Amino acid sequence: MPVLPWPFGGGGKKEEAKKEPPTLEPPALEPPALDLPLKFPQTDLPPEALIAVAFVLGGATAIATGTVYKRFFKRIPNSEWITPDILARRRWIKGTVTSVGDADNFRLYHTPGIGWRWPFKFRRVPTASRDLRSQTIHIRIAGVDAPEGAHFGRPAQPFADEALEWLRSQVGGKQIYCRLLRRDQYNRVVAIPLLPPRFLPSALVSGQPLALAMLRAGWVQVYEQAGAEYGPWGKEEFLRLQSEAQAARRGIWVKGTNFESPAEYKRRYARGGSDADMDAEIPLEPEKEEKPGVLRRLVRWAIGSK
Protein backbone atom coordinates (compact mmCIF):
# COMPACT_ATOMS: atom_id res chain seq x y z
CA MET A 1 0.00 0.00 0.00
CA PRO A 2 1.58 3.38 -1.06
CA VAL A 3 2.42 5.98 1.56
CA LEU A 4 0.48 9.22 1.13
CA PRO A 5 2.10 12.53 2.04
CA TRP A 6 0.74 14.26 5.13
CA PRO A 7 -1.42 17.16 3.91
CA PHE A 8 -0.58 19.50 6.80
CA GLY A 9 3.00 20.37 5.86
CA GLY A 10 4.82 17.57 7.52
CA GLY A 11 7.07 17.08 4.42
CA GLY A 12 8.39 20.71 4.40
CA LYS A 13 11.38 19.84 6.56
CA LYS A 14 12.62 17.30 4.05
CA GLU A 15 12.39 19.84 1.23
CA GLU A 16 14.30 22.41 3.26
CA ALA A 17 16.89 19.81 4.03
CA LYS A 18 17.41 19.23 0.31
CA LYS A 19 18.26 22.89 -0.43
CA GLU A 20 21.97 23.58 -0.93
CA PRO A 21 23.60 26.18 1.29
CA PRO A 22 24.48 29.48 -0.46
CA THR A 23 28.03 29.73 -1.75
CA LEU A 24 30.17 32.59 -0.46
CA GLU A 25 32.61 34.23 -2.87
CA PRO A 26 35.95 35.25 -1.44
CA PRO A 27 36.48 39.00 -1.33
CA ALA A 28 38.50 40.50 -4.17
CA LEU A 29 42.05 41.09 -3.18
CA GLU A 30 43.54 44.45 -4.15
CA PRO A 31 47.23 44.57 -5.04
CA PRO A 32 49.30 46.20 -2.39
CA ALA A 33 50.11 49.81 -3.08
CA LEU A 34 53.75 50.30 -3.95
CA ASP A 35 55.13 53.35 -2.30
CA LEU A 36 58.00 53.98 -4.74
CA PRO A 37 59.56 57.42 -4.91
CA LEU A 38 59.65 59.13 -8.36
CA LYS A 39 63.17 59.42 -9.65
CA PHE A 40 64.19 62.12 -12.13
CA PRO A 41 67.45 62.10 -14.07
CA GLN A 42 70.14 63.80 -12.12
CA THR A 43 72.39 66.40 -13.71
CA ASP A 44 75.30 68.37 -12.43
CA LEU A 45 74.65 71.29 -14.81
CA PRO A 46 73.74 74.57 -13.15
CA PRO A 47 70.33 76.11 -14.00
CA GLU A 48 71.98 78.76 -16.16
CA ALA A 49 73.48 76.05 -18.40
CA LEU A 50 70.15 74.26 -18.69
CA ILE A 51 68.47 77.49 -19.76
CA ALA A 52 71.20 78.11 -22.35
CA VAL A 53 70.82 74.57 -23.77
CA ALA A 54 67.04 74.96 -24.00
CA PHE A 55 67.46 78.32 -25.74
CA VAL A 56 69.93 76.87 -28.29
CA LEU A 57 67.69 73.87 -29.03
CA GLY A 58 64.65 76.10 -29.46
CA GLY A 59 66.53 78.44 -31.80
CA ALA A 60 67.84 75.53 -33.89
CA THR A 61 64.33 74.09 -34.18
CA ALA A 62 62.95 77.46 -35.28
CA ILE A 63 65.68 77.88 -37.90
CA ALA A 64 65.16 74.37 -39.25
CA THR A 65 61.39 74.89 -39.42
CA GLY A 66 61.83 78.20 -41.26
CA THR A 67 64.29 76.65 -43.72
CA VAL A 68 61.94 73.78 -44.54
CA TYR A 69 59.04 76.19 -44.97
CA LYS A 70 60.99 78.47 -47.31
CA ARG A 71 62.34 75.56 -49.34
CA PHE A 72 59.23 73.40 -49.72
CA PHE A 73 56.10 75.34 -48.73
CA LYS A 74 56.57 79.09 -49.31
CA ARG A 75 55.03 80.25 -52.58
CA ILE A 76 56.97 82.53 -54.94
CA PRO A 77 54.39 85.06 -56.21
CA ASN A 78 56.31 86.39 -59.22
CA SER A 79 59.74 86.94 -60.73
CA GLU A 80 60.53 89.81 -58.36
CA TRP A 81 60.56 87.37 -55.44
CA ILE A 82 63.22 85.12 -57.00
CA THR A 83 66.43 85.93 -55.17
CA PRO A 84 69.99 85.58 -56.53
CA ASP A 85 70.47 82.69 -54.11
CA ILE A 86 67.63 80.75 -55.75
CA LEU A 87 69.16 81.30 -59.18
CA ALA A 88 72.66 80.45 -57.94
CA ARG A 89 71.41 77.10 -56.64
CA ARG A 90 69.42 76.55 -59.87
CA ARG A 91 66.46 75.51 -57.81
CA TRP A 92 63.65 73.31 -59.11
CA ILE A 93 60.09 74.53 -58.59
CA LYS A 94 56.73 73.13 -59.62
CA GLY A 95 53.68 75.03 -60.73
CA THR A 96 50.70 75.21 -63.04
CA VAL A 97 50.88 76.91 -66.44
CA THR A 98 48.17 79.58 -66.53
CA SER A 99 48.89 81.27 -69.88
CA VAL A 100 51.32 81.31 -72.81
CA GLY A 101 52.86 84.08 -74.91
CA ASP A 102 54.91 83.17 -77.95
CA ALA A 103 55.87 79.53 -78.29
CA ASP A 104 58.97 79.95 -76.13
CA ASN A 105 57.54 81.50 -72.94
CA PHE A 106 54.63 81.06 -70.55
CA ARG A 107 53.30 82.06 -67.14
CA LEU A 108 53.73 79.69 -64.18
CA TYR A 109 51.74 79.80 -60.93
CA HIS A 110 54.06 78.39 -58.27
CA THR A 111 52.42 75.54 -56.29
CA PRO A 112 54.83 74.39 -53.55
CA GLY A 113 54.17 71.72 -50.96
CA ILE A 114 50.93 69.75 -50.84
CA GLY A 115 47.24 70.56 -51.06
CA TRP A 116 47.00 71.45 -54.76
CA ARG A 117 45.74 68.12 -56.11
CA TRP A 118 43.35 65.40 -55.05
CA PRO A 119 42.98 63.53 -52.73
CA PHE A 120 44.54 66.19 -50.46
CA LYS A 121 43.33 69.27 -52.28
CA PHE A 122 42.69 72.23 -50.01
CA ARG A 123 44.43 74.97 -52.08
CA ARG A 124 43.47 76.16 -55.54
CA VAL A 125 45.06 77.89 -58.50
CA PRO A 126 43.16 81.06 -59.49
CA THR A 127 41.65 81.23 -62.95
CA ALA A 128 40.43 84.84 -63.15
CA SER A 129 42.86 87.33 -64.68
CA ARG A 130 42.40 89.79 -61.81
CA ASP A 131 43.42 87.08 -59.30
CA LEU A 132 46.49 86.09 -61.34
CA ARG A 133 47.82 89.63 -61.70
CA SER A 134 51.35 89.79 -60.20
CA GLN A 135 50.97 86.20 -59.01
CA THR A 136 52.78 84.29 -61.78
CA ILE A 137 56.39 83.79 -62.87
CA HIS A 138 57.23 84.66 -66.48
CA ILE A 139 59.24 81.68 -67.76
CA ARG A 140 61.45 81.80 -70.86
CA ILE A 141 62.31 78.33 -72.19
CA ALA A 142 66.09 77.95 -72.29
CA GLY A 143 67.99 77.12 -75.45
CA VAL A 144 65.27 77.54 -78.09
CA ASP A 145 63.70 80.35 -80.13
CA ALA A 146 60.16 80.12 -81.51
CA PRO A 147 58.56 81.97 -84.44
CA GLU A 148 57.53 85.48 -83.43
CA GLY A 149 53.86 86.30 -83.17
CA ALA A 150 52.20 89.51 -84.30
CA HIS A 151 53.16 92.18 -81.74
CA PHE A 152 53.60 95.96 -81.79
CA GLY A 153 52.26 96.30 -85.32
CA ARG A 154 54.57 93.68 -86.78
CA PRO A 155 53.17 90.72 -88.72
CA ALA A 156 53.62 87.23 -87.34
CA GLN A 157 56.23 84.87 -88.68
CA PRO A 158 55.05 81.80 -90.59
CA PHE A 159 53.97 78.94 -88.31
CA ALA A 160 53.87 81.20 -85.24
CA ASP A 161 50.26 80.23 -84.49
CA GLU A 162 50.91 76.53 -85.04
CA ALA A 163 53.91 76.56 -82.73
CA LEU A 164 51.91 78.42 -80.10
CA GLU A 165 49.05 75.91 -80.26
CA TRP A 166 51.50 73.03 -79.93
CA LEU A 167 52.96 74.54 -76.78
CA ARG A 168 49.54 75.20 -75.31
CA SER A 169 48.49 71.61 -75.97
CA GLN A 170 51.56 70.31 -74.15
CA VAL A 171 51.67 72.49 -71.02
CA GLY A 172 48.46 74.53 -70.84
CA GLY A 173 46.79 74.09 -67.45
CA LYS A 174 49.22 71.32 -66.46
CA GLN A 175 51.58 71.02 -63.52
CA ILE A 176 55.22 71.01 -64.59
CA TYR A 177 58.66 71.33 -63.03
CA CYS A 178 61.07 74.12 -63.95
CA ARG A 179 64.74 74.55 -63.10
CA LEU A 180 65.43 78.25 -62.68
CA LEU A 181 68.68 79.40 -64.32
CA ARG A 182 68.91 83.20 -64.63
CA ARG A 183 67.09 86.38 -65.61
CA ASP A 184 67.12 87.71 -69.14
CA GLN A 185 67.14 91.36 -70.25
CA TYR A 186 63.34 91.51 -70.03
CA ASN A 187 63.21 90.28 -66.41
CA ARG A 188 61.88 86.90 -67.49
CA VAL A 189 63.29 83.82 -65.76
CA VAL A 190 65.19 81.54 -68.13
CA ALA A 191 64.40 77.98 -67.07
CA ILE A 192 64.47 74.33 -68.09
CA PRO A 193 60.86 73.06 -68.01
CA LEU A 194 60.00 69.36 -67.93
CA LEU A 195 56.84 68.00 -69.52
CA PRO A 196 54.50 66.00 -67.28
CA PRO A 197 55.19 62.24 -67.40
CA ARG A 198 52.72 60.21 -69.41
CA PHE A 199 51.82 57.66 -66.74
CA LEU A 200 53.49 58.01 -63.34
CA PRO A 201 53.26 61.11 -61.13
CA SER A 202 55.85 63.80 -61.79
CA ALA A 203 56.96 63.59 -58.16
CA LEU A 204 58.26 60.07 -58.88
CA VAL A 205 59.43 60.25 -62.50
CA SER A 206 61.03 63.14 -64.40
CA GLY A 207 59.31 64.15 -67.59
CA GLN A 208 60.82 64.93 -70.97
CA PRO A 209 62.62 68.29 -71.33
CA LEU A 210 60.23 70.68 -73.07
CA ALA A 211 62.93 72.32 -75.20
CA LEU A 212 64.07 68.98 -76.64
CA ALA A 213 60.49 67.95 -77.35
CA MET A 214 59.87 71.21 -79.24
CA LEU A 215 63.06 70.77 -81.27
CA ARG A 216 62.12 67.18 -82.09
CA ALA A 217 58.65 68.30 -83.23
CA GLY A 218 60.20 71.05 -85.37
CA TRP A 219 58.43 74.06 -83.85
CA VAL A 220 61.51 75.96 -82.60
CA GLN A 221 65.10 76.67 -83.55
CA VAL A 222 68.22 76.43 -81.41
CA TYR A 223 68.85 79.74 -79.66
CA GLU A 224 72.48 80.64 -80.34
CA GLN A 225 72.68 84.20 -79.05
CA ALA A 226 74.89 85.32 -76.18
CA GLY A 227 74.04 83.79 -72.82
CA ALA A 228 72.22 80.74 -74.26
CA GLU A 229 71.63 77.89 -71.79
CA TYR A 230 71.37 74.25 -72.89
CA GLY A 231 71.32 72.40 -69.58
CA PRO A 232 73.14 69.09 -69.11
CA TRP A 233 72.46 68.04 -72.72
CA GLY A 234 74.68 70.68 -74.32
CA LYS A 235 74.38 72.61 -77.55
CA GLU A 236 75.39 69.61 -79.65
CA GLU A 237 72.27 67.65 -78.63
CA PHE A 238 70.08 70.65 -79.41
CA LEU A 239 71.61 71.00 -82.88
CA ARG A 240 71.30 67.26 -83.51
CA LEU A 241 67.57 67.26 -82.79
CA GLN A 242 67.11 70.33 -84.97
CA SER A 243 68.89 68.58 -87.84
CA GLU A 244 66.62 65.55 -87.44
CA ALA A 245 63.51 67.75 -87.62
CA GLN A 246 64.88 69.52 -90.70
CA ALA A 247 65.63 66.24 -92.45
CA ALA A 248 62.13 64.96 -91.67
CA ARG A 249 60.54 68.31 -92.65
CA ARG A 250 58.61 68.67 -89.42
CA GLY A 251 56.95 71.82 -88.16
CA ILE A 252 58.55 75.03 -89.41
CA TRP A 253 60.86 72.98 -91.69
CA VAL A 254 58.02 71.57 -93.79
CA LYS A 255 59.15 73.69 -96.77
CA GLY A 256 62.86 73.16 -96.23
CA THR A 257 65.59 74.79 -94.20
CA ASN A 258 65.26 78.20 -95.83
CA PHE A 259 63.42 79.62 -92.81
CA GLU A 260 64.09 83.04 -91.36
CA SER A 261 65.14 82.73 -87.74
CA PRO A 262 63.36 84.78 -85.08
CA ALA A 263 66.61 86.71 -84.50
CA GLU A 264 66.80 87.66 -88.18
CA TYR A 265 63.12 88.56 -88.14
CA LYS A 266 63.64 90.96 -85.22
CA ARG A 267 66.54 92.64 -86.96
CA ARG A 268 64.38 93.28 -90.01
CA TYR A 269 61.85 95.30 -88.07
CA ALA A 270 62.34 98.41 -86.03
CA ARG A 271 61.44 97.62 -82.46
CA GLY A 272 58.37 99.53 -81.45
CA GLY A 273 58.15 97.78 -78.09
CA SER A 274 59.71 95.17 -75.86
CA ASP A 275 60.24 91.71 -77.25
CA ALA A 276 59.36 90.27 -73.89
CA ASP A 277 55.66 90.50 -74.78
CA MET A 278 54.86 90.93 -71.15
CA ASP A 279 51.21 91.66 -71.84
CA ALA A 280 50.72 89.36 -74.80
CA GLU A 281 49.91 86.15 -72.95
CA ILE A 282 46.89 84.29 -74.21
CA PRO A 283 44.75 82.94 -71.35
CA LEU A 284 44.02 79.25 -71.48
CA GLU A 285 40.30 79.81 -70.87
CA PRO A 286 38.12 82.92 -71.10
CA GLU A 287 37.54 84.56 -67.79
CA LYS A 288 34.25 83.53 -66.26
CA GLU A 289 32.22 85.66 -63.91
CA GLU A 290 31.87 83.94 -60.58
CA LYS A 291 28.27 83.44 -59.50
CA PRO A 292 27.43 84.23 -55.87
CA GLY A 293 26.66 81.30 -53.61
CA VAL A 294 23.28 80.47 -52.08
CA LEU A 295 24.11 82.13 -48.75
CA ARG A 296 25.26 85.34 -50.42
CA ARG A 297 22.13 85.47 -52.56
CA LEU A 298 19.94 84.99 -49.49
CA VAL A 299 21.73 87.86 -47.72
CA ARG A 300 21.28 90.10 -50.75
CA TRP A 301 17.61 89.20 -50.95
CA ALA A 302 17.14 89.91 -47.23
CA ILE A 303 18.67 93.39 -47.42
CA GLY A 304 16.97 94.13 -50.72
CA SER A 305 20.12 94.61 -52.81
CA LYS A 306 20.94 93.09 -56.18
pLDDT greater than 80 at residue 12 = no
**pLDDT band per the 50, 70, 90 thresholds, residue 280:** very low
pLDDT of residue 278: 41
pLDDT at residue 190, as a whole number: 97
Q: Which of the residues are catalytic?
A: 140, 148, 188
The answer to whether 163 and 220 are in contact (CB under 8 A) is yes
pLDDT at residue number 28: 63
Percent of the chain residues topping a pLDDT of 70: 70
CATH number where 272 lies:
2.40.50.90
Task: Summarize the confidence of residues 22-42 as an average pLDDT.
Answer: 63
Q: Say which residues have a Cβ less than 8 Å from residue 194's Cβ, sequence separation at least 6.
A: 176, 177, 178, 202, 206, 207, 208, 209, 210
Q: Give how far the C-alpha of residue 266 lies from the chain's centroid of Cα atoms, to the nearest Å.
A: 36
Is residue 34, in this structure, part of any structural domain at all?
Answer: no
Q: Can you give the residue range of the structural domain that contains 244?
A: 76-283
Task: Tell me: pLDDT of 273 over 80.
Answer: no
Confirm whether 300 is domain-assigned.
no
Does 91 map to a domain?
A: yes
Residue 97, domain member (yes or no): yes
Query: Which pLDDT belongs to residue 9?
Result: 54
pLDDT at residue 220, rounded to an integer = 96
Q: Is the pLDDT of residue 283 over 90?
A: no
Q: Is residue 18, in this structure, part of any structural domain at all?
A: no
pLDDT over threshold 70, residue 233: yes
Q: Does residue 46 belong to any structural domain of this protein?
A: no
The number of folded domains in the chain is: 1
* pLDDT on residue 61: 80
The chain-wide mean pLDDT, for the chain, equals 81
Answer yes or no: is 51 within a domain. no
33, part of any domain: no
pLDDT at 15: 54
> What sign does the dihedral 51-52-57-60 (CA atoms) show?
positive
- pLDDT at residue 21 is higher than 70: no
Model confidence at 279: pLDDT above 50: no
pLDDT at 277: 47
Contact 162, 219 (CB under 8 A): yes
**pLDDT band at 299; cut points 50, 70, 90:** low
Over the stretch 67-90, which tens digit does the pLDDT of each residue have? 666 656 799 999 999 999 999 999
Q: Which residue has the higher pLDDT, 200 or 240?
A: 240
